[in-house]
């Protein structure tokens, strides 16, 4: 297997340029490698703000201008493509619907699956491009049989393979990640951008959810779903307090519960369950969050689907640690058992399986099994 899946020929590459430093350096590296690169900024908001709020948000008018200036410095053509309607339907509305259903989604995975490597890639291929280039930190490796595999980035500290676990082999065959093979710090990437004359060298990274620029997720959901008062109860069903919308809570949450009655043992309580049917939030002790197994649906395999039970490692959050598991794909469901109990696992999250550094695939958590009866 080779570490670089890029064929030794000049490719027509469409570089997705967000206006940030990573995507700018990725586009520059692709051009420096001899590829015929065209930059494109995705307009994902119907009403983009003129300026971002600090390091929050993206896809603003400012970001579009930053991407255009970077393309000019690199010396590549540049366009802005309007995918706002597709983004609203496939990412934003999905995000709202998942929270309304009591689940905790990851919009970055959905964006990679539906926008960057579906809508964008399909349009790129239709226009005669060979690949889409992004600033993600991950690697595509070419197997002996010609198939592609997705692997973790060389630098584990910046690895972003978790949010790319939704890509199938066809999409991987047309994906370029120029930053994934280099073990460099973010400071070194910024220094490279400065050497290349890219003005985004010192631009702060965007974080949180890109379409919620002020970072107030609960406020955003309230504006979409309205206030819906319900009960906060303990494991026995006793009412401890009220809330203004069950969608404003996540499994494992400790802060912001506004429970006046202390627990009998004086220890903090955590969100154990969210029931949209009766608009109830159940809280309890930390140990009640211990999950021993889960069932996940809507799998996306980065290659061939696994057959039979096998040992893997699993990652449950974008910046979470790996944990040993046994997993099996049965009747269109991924069934995962943990070697040691884990906490903070919520329906709607993605579980991504790894075989060493290779990404096996991703699936959406539908249900969990806990050691405590409150599960």
Q: What is the pLDDT of residues 336-375, one digit of tens each?
A: 999 999 998 999 999 999 999 999 999 999 999 987 544 4
Outline which parts of the chain fall under CATH 3.40.50.620. 12-202
Residue 261 has pLDDT above 80, yes or no: no
Residue 368 three-state SS: strand
Q: What are phi and psi of 27, to 5 degrees?
A: -65, -40
From the list 59, 108, 111, 302, the catalytic residue is: 111
- Sequence-distant contacts of 224-230: CB under 8 A, at least 24 apart: 224/96, 225/96, 225/99, 225/100, 228/279, 229/279, 230/278, 230/279, 230/280, 230/281
Q: Name which of 133-142, 197-206, 364-373 the model is least confident about.
A: 364-373
Q: Tens digit of pLDDT for each residue in 313-328?
A: 999 998 889 999 999 9
Looking at domain 290-370, its CATH class is mainly beta
Contact 134, 23 (CB under 8 A): yes
Q: Which residues contact 166 (CB under 8 A, 6 or more apart)?
A: 109, 110, 112, 113, 117, 300, 350, 362
Active site residue 210: yes
What's the mean pLDDT in 64-73?
96
Mean pLDDT of the chain, nearest integer: 89
Residue 215 has pLDDT above 90, yes or no: no
Rg for the chain, CA atoms, rounded:
22
Buried b or exposed e, range 161-170, using 16+ CB within 10 angstroms? bbbbbbbbee
CATH 2.40.30.10 location in the chain:
290-370
| CA dist list (Å): 10 to 13, 135, 141, 194 | 9, 19, 18, 26
Distance, in Å, from the CA atom of 353 to the CA atom of 162, rounded to the nearest integer, reads 9
Q: Which residues share a beta bridge with 15?
A: 39, 133
Q: What's domain 227-288's superfamily in CATH?
A: Adenine nucleotide alpha hydrolases-like domains (2.30.30.280)
The yes-or-no verdict on residue 272 having pLDDT over 80 is: yes
Q: Tell whether pTM > 0.85.
A: yes
Cα–Cα dist 331/81, whole Å:
40
Please say whether the beta carbons of 296 and 352 come within 8 A.
no
In CATH terms, the fold of domain 12-202 is Rossmann fold (3.40.50)
pLDDT category at 44 given cuts 50, 70, 90 is confident
Which one has a higher pLDDT value, 200 or 306? Answer: 200
Residues 6+ apart with CB under 8 A from 314: 322, 323, 325, 327, 336, 338, 351, 352, 353, 354
Residue 98 has pLDDT above 90, yes or no: yes
Q: What is the dihedral of CA 101, 102, 104, 105, to 10 degrees?
A: 0
Q: Are 209 and 98 in contact (CB under 8 A)?
A: no
Under 8 Å between Cβ of 372 and 282: no
**Cβ pair 299, 169 in contact under 8 A:** no
Confidence of residue 49 (pLDDT cuts 50, 70, 90): low
- Catalytic residue status for 108: no
What is the side-by-side strand order in the sheet with 270-275?
Answer: 239-243, 230-233, 280-284, 270-275
How far, in Å, CA of 321 to CA of 316, rounded? 8
Where do you find CATH 2.30.30.280 in the chain? 227-288
Instruction: Provide mean pLDDT across the span 83-89.
Output: 92
Task: Please name which of 41, 73, 35 lies closest in space to residue 178, comparing C-alpha atoms.
Answer: 35
């Amino acid at each position: 297997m080779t570490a670089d899946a890029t064929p030794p020929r000049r490719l027509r590459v469409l570089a997705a340029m967000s206006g940030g430093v990573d995507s700018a350096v990725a586009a520059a590296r692709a051009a420096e490698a001899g590829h015929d690169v065209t930059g494109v900024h995705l307009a994902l908001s119907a009403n983009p703000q003129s300026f971002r709020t600090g390091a929050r948000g993206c896809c603003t008018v400012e970001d579009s201008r930053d991407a255009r200036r970077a393309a000019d410095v690199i010396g590549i053509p540049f366009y802005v493509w309007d995918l706002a309607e597709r983004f609203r339907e496939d990412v934003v509305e999905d995000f709202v619907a998942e929270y309304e259903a009591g689940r905790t989604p990851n919009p970055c995975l959905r964006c990679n699956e539906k926008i960057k490597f579906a809508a964008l890639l399909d349009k790129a291929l239709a226009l005669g491009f060979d690949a889409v280039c992004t600033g993600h930190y991950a690697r595509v490796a070419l197997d002996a049989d010609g198939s592609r595999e997705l692997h973790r980035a060389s630098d584990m500290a910046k690895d972003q393979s978790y949010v790319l676990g939704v890509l199938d082999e066809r999409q991987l065959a047309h994906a370029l990640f120029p930053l994934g093979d280099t073990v460099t710090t973010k400071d070194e990437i910024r220094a490279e951008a400065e050497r290349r004359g890219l003005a985004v060298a010192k631009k702060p990274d965007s974080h949180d959810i890109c379409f919620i620029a002020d970072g107030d997720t609960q406020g955003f959901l309230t504006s979409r779903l309205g206030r819906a008062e319900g009960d906060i109860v303990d494991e026995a069903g006793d009412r401890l307090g009220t809330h203004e919308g069950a969608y404003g809570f996540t499994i494992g949450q400790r802060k912001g519960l506004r429970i006046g009655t202390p627990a009998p043992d004086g220890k903090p309580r955590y969100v154990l369950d969210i029931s949209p049917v009766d608009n109830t939030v159940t809280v309890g002790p930390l140990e009640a969050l211990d999950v021993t197994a889960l069932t996940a649906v809507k799998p996306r395999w980065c290659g061939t689907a696994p057959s039979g039970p096998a040992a893997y490692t699993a990652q449950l959050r974008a910046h979470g640690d790996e944990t040993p598991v046994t997993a099996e794909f049965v009747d269109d469901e991924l069934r995962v058992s943990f070697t040691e109990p884990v906490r903070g696992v919520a329906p709607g999250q993605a579980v991504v399986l790894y075989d060493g550094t290779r990404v096996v695939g991703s699936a959406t958590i539908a249900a969990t099994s806990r050691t405590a009866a409150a599960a």
